[in-house]
Amino acid sequence: MVSVTRIVLQRLVLGLLTLFVVSIVIFIAVNMLPGDFAQAILGQGATPEAVEAIRRDLGLDQPPVIRYFQWLGRALQGDLGSSFAQANFANFTGTESGATTVAAQIAPRFANTMFLAGVTAAIAVPVSLVLGILAALYRNSAFDRVANIFTLSSISSPEFFLAYVLILFLAVLNPLLPSLSNIYSDMTLGQRVERTLLPALTLTLVVTAHMMRMTRAAIINLLASPYIEMARLKGLSPLRVIVHHALPNALAPIINVIALNLAYLITGVVVVEVVFVYPGIGQLFVDAVKIRDIPMVQACCLIFAAAYILLNFSADILSILSNPRLRHPK
């Protein structure tokens, strides 16, 4: 137990250091974006004095190092800052300042993205495991070849292409599902699932290939092991040998690839959300980039990075717990 605790603490410290380095990269990259928010919001006819006044009000006239540590200090306290665009809108309309905070705008969008990721994971993970087990069970058969061709085709196709193909067949030619995922808070669970199903199916086609092929490869690598041969000599069925003997020992690489794909469902949904006009954090991120809303872009990138690091950290811990050899490498 002591060794597991030490490993967990080491992974946690490394994760925090990684997030700190990523935050520096995010800040530098975002501030290197072409264009200027003050100039964009005022238009081409803005005077230099007006642009400078807005930059001063938003703190953009301060040195980058000072702005970074101010942003990092507020982020550590849970304050992601105020949206430039919403703050500017509030100045003209008298809107409450709480509506201009980045956290207040991200919270419902992030919940929508998590719902989309949850629906996708509920479909993709069981399907991938079943297909991987069957492909290993019927290795080199017609089923194995068809499954590999299908997964390789889906993984090689761009997300937007798969999205438009599904829209064509499931929303235009056969109007089974809505092509636009315009969800809102007053919807019932069934309505939300219906509106989310088409983007979820798109993401399922993208991530299933990785998980299915890793499951198949991890199981096949163990089929030549002595204990698998012993199980076969005992007269156990091939399915029982794979499910009860090979699969538990193949969990570590399978858990890793599942965690990576779940991280992708949170951080890589930008294209899918834009295609389906899904009100998630990816769509919010794209809108913020268009208008150079720096605090919003930085917050979205930081959330993406934190989610990715957290899921990788969880994958490491689960892999270690599922495989005693990883706890005692010597």
Q: What is the pLDDT of residues 86-134, one digit of tens each?
A: 655 444 444 454 457 888 888 889 999 999 999 999 999 999 988 888 8
Tokens 């969008």, residue?
109
Q: What domains can be seen in the chain, in order of their start residue? A: 102-327 (1.10.3720.10)
Beta bridge pairs of residue 101: 82
What is the pLDDT at residue 330?
A: 53
Nearest Cα neighbor of 264 from 183, 184, 202 is 202
Residue 291: pLDDT over 70 = yes
Phi first, then psi, for residue 82 (nearest 5°) are: -115, 145
Q: What average pLDDT score do residues 277-298 get?
A: 86
Rounded Cα distance between 330 and 325, Å, is: 8
User: Which residues, 6 or more positions from 202, have their beta carbon under 8 angstroms from its beta carbon?
Assistant: 159, 162, 163, 166, 272, 275, 276
CA distances in angstroms from 58 to 1, 11, 37, 80, 295, listed in the order given = 50, 37, 10, 14, 10
Tell me the torsion sign for CA atoms 77, 78, 81, 87.
negative
Per residue in 186-227, pLDDT (tens digit) is: 888 888 988 999 999 999 988 888 888 888 888 888 877 888
Taking 70 as the threshold, does the pLDDT of residue 328 lie above it? no
Confidence of residue 184 (pLDDT cuts 50, 70, 90): confident
**Residue 329 pLDDT > 70, yes or no?**
no
Confidence of residue 246 (pLDDT cuts 50, 70, 90): confident
Model confidence pLDDT, tens digit, residues 162-174: 889 999 998 888 8
Residue 84, amino acid:
F
Return the pLDDT at 18: 92
State how far the Cα of 304 lies from the Cα of 283, in Å rounded to an integer. Answer: 13
Q: What is the DSSP code string of 234-250?
A: TT--HHHIIIIIIHHHT
